[in-house]
Structures are given as C-alpha cells and as structure tokens.
A and B are shown apart, each in its own frame.
Chain A
Amino acid sequence: MYNPIVRTDYHSLPVLKRDEIDDIAERFLRDYQPDVFTNPTAIDIDGFLEGYLKATPDYQYLSNNMIYLGMTVFQDTNSIPVFNPYKNEAEYFSAKANTVIFDTRLVEEANQEHRYRFTAGHECGHLIFHRPYFLRQHRLRMQFGIDDDIILQCRRTDLPGAKKAD
C-alpha cells in the first residue's frame, strides 16, 4: 500500500499544496487501480475504501436534514449523535474505529450516486491524512480528563456544488 510522507504542523495536520494533494491522489490510484490511466473508467471507490484502506462502511441518518453526508470514526465509540427518523429524535450510535458512516439517504434516494461517490472519496482523504491529528487531539484532551469521541462529521457545505449552510 502506498504510504505518503507528508509535512505536518505541530498539531500533526498535513501541510500540503493543492498540486501535492493531486500528486498523492494519483500515486494512490497508480497503486490501487493503475489500468484507469490507460483505459479510463470509473474509480472503484467502494473497493478503495473497503479493500485498500480497510475501512468499514456503515449507514445512518446523520441529521434530520442531510447537513452531514459522511462521518469518519477514528476510535471505537458508542456516542455518535444520529437522527432516528421513525421517532423523529436524536439518539446515540456505536461504531468501531476505521468506520465511515454515510447518510442513509445517499444510497437509498434516487440521483444521489454522484454525491455518495464524492463523499466516499472525501472520507478516504480524512482516513489517509487526518488520523494522527485526531488521535493526538484525543490524547491531549485525555490529559485534561476530557474523553470525547474521535469522529469527524462532514457537512454537505464541505463538498463541491453545495449551497452555503442553511
């Protein structure tokens, strides 16, 4: 598996130019699905997420209004806030580390495939680049007795073509 070496700041966050991100993405693709460079076809984003990055997909209503499309879980937790549409209320949900949770509507509603695919790729980016940052944050917060969850919620406004937050 390709393992990019990246500069990070003192928070363990990668410091990258756009060109460098593009280059890293291409190197991943050359490693995972090299035939697309000679025979252009859709990237198998599910295979990349599950088979290559060894992440587990899961599906929940992440909000009542689809403000969150995806979520990356870096550590086992049983307190992820999700929406229960049958009870019309928020509740907590459990997930293991390395789980990517998609809003259920992305895979069950019509004409959402493009959003699903982009969200999957976006969450793959978090898995690749942001684990050290979140684990470090967790360690630091634990030193102050704060044991909160290591999850990253992605608003639809983080994704291209989205309207500004409601």
Chain B
Amino acid sequence: MNMNAQNFGEFLQHKREEKEITLRRMADMLSVSAPFLSDVEKGRRNSLDMDKLVLLKQILDLSDDEHQTMLNLAGKQRKTVAPDLPEYIMDRDYVSAALRTARDLDAGEAEWQRFVEELKKRKR
C-alpha cells in the first residue's frame, strides 16, 4: 500500500488488519467504543488524541518511519501539524523563528534535508 496516498483512517485500518486485530478488540485496547473507532477509520471523526496515538504505536508495533507517517496523517486529518510537534514548537521560540525564516526564504526540501543531516551528524 502506498503510504503517501493514505489518510489517517485508512492507515489505521490497514495496520490493524495487518496485525489481525478486529475493530472491537482494537477499540477495547484503546478504551474507546467500537462505533467511535469505526468513525475514525472511515474519516467521519477527527484522528485520535496523542495519548491514544502513543498507545497505537505500541499495539501496532510501528517502525519509526511508520510512526512518523501516522503522526503526520493524524495532523493532516485535523488540518494542523502532527500532534507530537505543537508542544515542542511552543516551548521554543527559536524553532518558530527558524520556521518563519525558512518560510520567508522559501527553503526547499533539499535545504531542510541538509540541515537535518547536519544535526544528525552532531548527535553521532
């Protein structure tokens, strides 16, 4: 399945079925009702809150890439940034300033990628 083409609900349903977890069982594990989870999977409700997304990562045994995809899709469904980011950005004004600079200078993916690689090198 093409991860880029999915929405949050489709992603969740696909991963759940891959793990052979029924909808009612998953709802039970997330402490939500089956109708609620069904609405989320079919895009009739907003994606899940951050605490449920953390739980989902464990239940579905998501890789780091899949986890990031899930968070990005969850954010897109709510028409906002991924739900793990707002707190990080709000607590650091310099991140907001950096994002604005990048936006104003029309920084592209390649420039961001170089920046990220640079950060990763420093961590090694």
- Tell me if A59 is interfacial: C-beta within 8 Å of chain B: yes
Produce 1/0 per residue, B6-50, CB < 8 A to A.
000000000001001011110000000111001000100000000
Name the B residues within 8 Å of A60 (CB-CB): 35
Complex CA distance for A107 and B25, rounded to whole angstroms:
12
Q: Choose the segment among A45-53, A65-73, A134-142 that binds chain B (4+ C-beta atoms closer than 8 Å).
A: A45-53
A32 to chain B, nearest CB (A): 13
Grouping DSSP codes into helix (H, G, I), strand (E, B) and loop, the B interface class, with mixed when no group exceeds half, is helix
The count of chain A contact residues (Cβ–Cβ below 8 Å) is: 13
Of all chain B residues, the one with the shortest Cβ separation from A107 is B34
- Tell me if A104 is interfacial: C-beta within 8 Å of chain B: yes
Instruction: Tell me the B64-123 residues at the A interface (CB within 8 Å).
Output: none
A90 to chain B, nearest CB (A): 18
Produce 1/0 per residue, A115-136, CB < 8 A to B.
0000000000000000000000
Contact partner of B38 (CB less than 8 A), chosen from A46, A51, A59, is A59
Q: Can you list 21 A-B contacts with CB-CB less than 8 angstroms, sorted by A residue number? A: A44-B22, A46-B22, A47-B22, A49-B22, A50-B17, A50-B23, A51-B20, A51-B22, A57-B23, A57-B34, A57-B38, A58-B38, A59-B35, A59-B38, A60-B35, A104-B35, A107-B24, A107-B33, A107-B34, A107-B35, A108-B35
Contact size range, B = 10 to 19
Name the B residues within 8 Å of A58 (CB-CB): 38, 42
Known pairs A47-B20, A59-B35, A107-B35; list 20 more (Cβ under 8 Å).
A44-B22, A46-B23, A46-B25, A47-B22, A49-B22, A50-B17, A50-B23, A51-B17, A51-B20, A57-B23, A57-B34, A58-B42, A59-B34, A59-B38, A60-B35, A104-B35, A107-B33, A107-B34, A108-B33, A108-B35
